Amino acid sequence: MEPVATMREGTTAPRRPGASQVVFGLTMLGLGILMLQKGGFLAIWSGVPKDMPLRMAFAYLCAALCVGSGLGLLVRRTAAIAARVLLGLLVLWMLCFRLNLVFRAPNDPSVWWACGETAFMIGTAWVLAIGNGRGFDSSGKSLRIARALFAFGLIQFGIGHFTFLQRTVSMVPGWLPGHLGWAWFTGGSLIAAGVAIVVGVFARLAAGLSALELALFTLLVWGPVVVAHPDAGQWNEFVDSCLLTIAAWVVAESWRGTRVER
C-alpha cells in the first residue's frame, strides 16, 4: 500500500513550540541577560563601530530585544511576533554592520565568516517566523530561501576551516590522532551539508548532521577550553558556539512533520 503524503515538502503549519524552539528561546533570553550585565555586545552582535553615537544605548536596546524575543518564543501566542522581531534585528545587522565590511575588505576571510554567521541566524529566525505565523509567507519558496541562508552560513564555516587551517588544527582535541585530517574532514562536511541543503539532496539529513557536528564541536573543543581557561573571551566563544548549535537544531527540526510528495 502506497504511503499517503499528508503534507508537501517545504510547507509548514503553526504548531506548539518544539523542543528546539524552546531551547533557542531560552538561549536568546540568556544572551540578552548577559548583554545587560556586560553593558556591551557579544560575539553574534559584533561589528558596531566604537565611535557610533549612543552605542551603549543601542547595546541595551539589542539586549532588551534578545530578552523579549527569547521570552516570546516560549509562548505560542507570541512566538510569531518574537521571531519576526528577531528576524528584523538580524537583517538590520546584516545591512548595517556586515555588508559594508564586504565592500571594504572583500578578500578578508573573517569578513565572510561574520557574514555567514549572521546569514545563518537570519535563516534560523526566518524558519521560526514561518513555522509560527499564520498569514506570514509560509510558501515553500520562502522556506527554501530561509534554509539557503542558513546553508550559506554553513558553507562559510566550512571554508573558514581551510582559510584558518592552522587555528582549526590547533583546536582539534589532543587525544584525537590526525589533527590535520580532522580539520579537513570537519570543514569539508560543513560545506557539503550547506550544498546539500541548497540543492535539496538529502537536505534533512545534512541539516541534522550539521547540527550534530556543531554540538560535538561545542562540547569537545570549547567545553574543555572554558574549563581550562575561563576568561571572558573564551566564554564568549563558547556561548556563541552553543547558540549556533541550537540554531542548527531549529532548522533541522523544520523538516519535522513533512513528507516528500510522491
Q: Per-residue pLDDT averaged across 122-138, rounded? A: 82
Indicate whether 137 pLDDT > 70.
no
Least confident of 11-15, 29-33, 60-64, 115-119: 11-15
Distance CA 203, CA 184 (A): 21
N residues, the chain: 262
**What is the count of structural domains for the chain?**
1
Q: Is 3 inside a domain boundary? A: no
Mark residue 258 as left, alpha or beta (left: phi above 0; alpha: psi -120 to 50; beta: remaining): beta
Burial (CB count <10 Å: 0-12, 13-18, 19+), residue 193: buried
Domain of residue 25: give its range. 19-253
- List helix spans (H) across the chain: 19-38, 55-72, 76-97, 99-104, 109-132, 140-163, 165-171, 179-199, 203-217, 223-228, 232-253
Indicate whether 70 pLDDT > 90.
yes
Q: Per-residue pLDDT averaged across 76-92, rounded? A: 95
Mean pLDDT rounded to a whole number for the chain: 88
CA 208 → CA 91, 193, 197, distances in Å? 25, 9, 11
At 178-213, the pLDDT tens digits run: 999 999 999 999 999 999 999 999 999 999 999 999
Q: Per-residue pLDDT averaged across 28-47, rounded? A: 88
Distance CA 104, CA 200 (A): 33
Q: Is 163 inside a domain boundary? A: yes
Q: Is 12 inside a domain boundary? A: no
3-class SS at 16? Answer: coil
- CB-CB contact of 248 with 214 (8 Å): yes
Q: Is 260 inside a domain boundary? A: no
Q: Per-residue pLDDT averaged across 69-92, rounded? A: 96
Indicate whether 89 pLDDT > 60.
yes
User: Which residue type occupies 238?
Assistant: F
Nearest 10 degrees: Cα torsion 236, 160, 50, 66: -50
Q: Is 1 inside a domain boundary? A: no
Q: Is 262 inside a domain boundary? A: no
Q: Is 235 inside a domain boundary? A: yes
Q: Per-residue pLDDT averaged across 110-123, rounded? A: 95
DSSP secondary structure, 223-237, as one string: HHHHHH---HHHHHH
Q: Per-residue pLDDT averaged across 132-136, rounded? A: 66
Q: Is 176 inside a domain boundary? A: yes
pTM: 0.89
Residue 235's pLDDT is: 82
